């Protein structure tokens, strides 16, 4: 007798089977150095997934600086991989292969902005070198997590409790409809059930920038800002209870030339009210093809003004 649970189970099996066909195992050989043996080969392992004709997306940390990249599909077929782009700042890379097995289609990319905490997701990849795609299930534990270091800035990450192990990096995080909503990127080794994925919308923006400029770039206007909450506004006696407070403006940047100054408050971006710094970053990246972003600025004693700030494009490794 059919039940809602059995129906859901059959649906999940179907989704997993379809998604797994487009997920690959990636093995690499990099050169390392040991004090006794000198230069030695170091083997690495990761995952990836097909997003276009013969094009695979994975983490940059999986394939960057690799001398050998092998791509293995679910049926065991193996192809030489060529690293096209490795954006180490955002941890996104593209790998091409000469051919793919028949019948394998690129995975469908969803909309990570629509993710909700508690939503069921599946991590698909090759953990611990186990052959063939492995699937784990969990929920979206949180969104908007940040991991920022000297050479990497992973912002707006999806946190999930779906089991993630070494080798999962670069694999897709999919929803119950089989749409890719994220790319697995990191685990916390000393925690239980804490893993992170790059939102697929971030990956999409990187792909758009690569298509436009032929290389990974970073879009900016040259400001450091902080979100204003009613509590912050009250504590610092700010004239507005919502917006982005400009903390610093980098000399020589478009924002500097537009006479934006510390203490100014961004109230709207492209005509929409703003309350989170991430909205400014997204707006700048989304407007890269337009070449400018329109801001509404409030300055105490002078009131509101609208300004179109050119976008500065900087190459990243």
Q: Which H/E stretch holds residue 153?
A: strand 153-160
Kindly state the DSSP code that residue 86 receives in the 8-state scheme.
E
Alpha carbon distance 78, 38 (integer Å): 30
Q: Quick one: 24 exposed, middle or buried, by C-beta within 10 A (0-12, 13-18, 19+)?
A: buried
Active site residue 91: yes
Phi, psi dihedral angles at 221 (to 5 degrees): -115, -15
Which of 47, 87, 91, 156 is flagged as catalytic?
A: 91
Alpha carbon distance 215, 234 (integer Å): 44
Q: Residues 280, 282, 284, 289: what is their CA dihedral angle, to the nearest 10 degrees?
A: -160
Which of 61, 112, 141, 287 is flagged as catalytic?
A: 61
Which of 20, 96, 169, 287 is flagged as catalytic?
A: 169
And the tokens for 161?
A: 């409790």
Alpha carbon distance 144, 226 (integer Å): 15
And the tokens for 93?
A: 């890379």
Active site residue 113: no
Q: Which H/E stretch holds residue 303?
A: strand 303-310
Collapsing DSSP states into helix, strand and coil, what is residue 60?
helix
And the tokens for 96?
A: 């091409």
Active site residue 99: no
Q: Which residues are catalytic?
A: 61, 91, 169
């Amino acid at each position: 007798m059919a039940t809602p649970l059995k129906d859901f189970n059959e649906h999940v099996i179907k989704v997993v089977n379809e998604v797994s066909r487009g997920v690959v195992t990636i093995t690499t050989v990099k050169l390392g150095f040991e004090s006794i043996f000198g230069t030695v080969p170091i083997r690495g392992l990761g995952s990836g997934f097909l997003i276009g004709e013969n094009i695979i997306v994975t983490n940059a940390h999986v394939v960057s600086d690799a001398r050998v990249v092998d791509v293995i599909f679910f049926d065991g077929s193996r192809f030489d991989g060529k690293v096209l782009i490795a954006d180490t700042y955002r941890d996104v890379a593209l790998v091409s292969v000469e051919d793919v097995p028949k019948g394998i289609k690129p995975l469908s990319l969803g909309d990570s902005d629509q993710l909700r905490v508690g939503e069921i997701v599946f991590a698909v990849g090759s953990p611990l070198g186990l052959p063939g795609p492995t699937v784990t299930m969990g929920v979206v534990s949180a969104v908007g997590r940040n991991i920022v270091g000297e050479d990497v800035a992973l912002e707006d990450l999806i946190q999930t409790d779906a089991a993630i192990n070494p080798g999962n990096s670069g694999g897709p995080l999919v929803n119950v409809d089989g749409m890719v909503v994220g790319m697995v990127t990191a685990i916390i080794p000393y925690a239980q059930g804490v893993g992170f994925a790059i939102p697929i919308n971030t990956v999409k923006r990187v792909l758009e920038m690569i298509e436009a400029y032929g290389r990974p770039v970073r879009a900016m206007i040259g400001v450091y800002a902080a979100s204003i909450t009613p509590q912050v506004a009250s504590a610092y006696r700010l004239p507005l209870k919502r917006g982005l407070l400009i903390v610093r403006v980098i000399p020589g940047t478009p924002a500097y030339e537009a006479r934006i100054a510390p203490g100014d408050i961004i109230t709207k971006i492209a005509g929409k009210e703003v309350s989170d710094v991430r909205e400014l970053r997204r707006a700048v990246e989304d407007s890269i093809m337009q070449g400018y972003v329109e801001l509404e600025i409030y300055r105490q004693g002078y009131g509101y003004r609208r300004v179109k700030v050119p976008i500065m494009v900087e190459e990243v490794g």
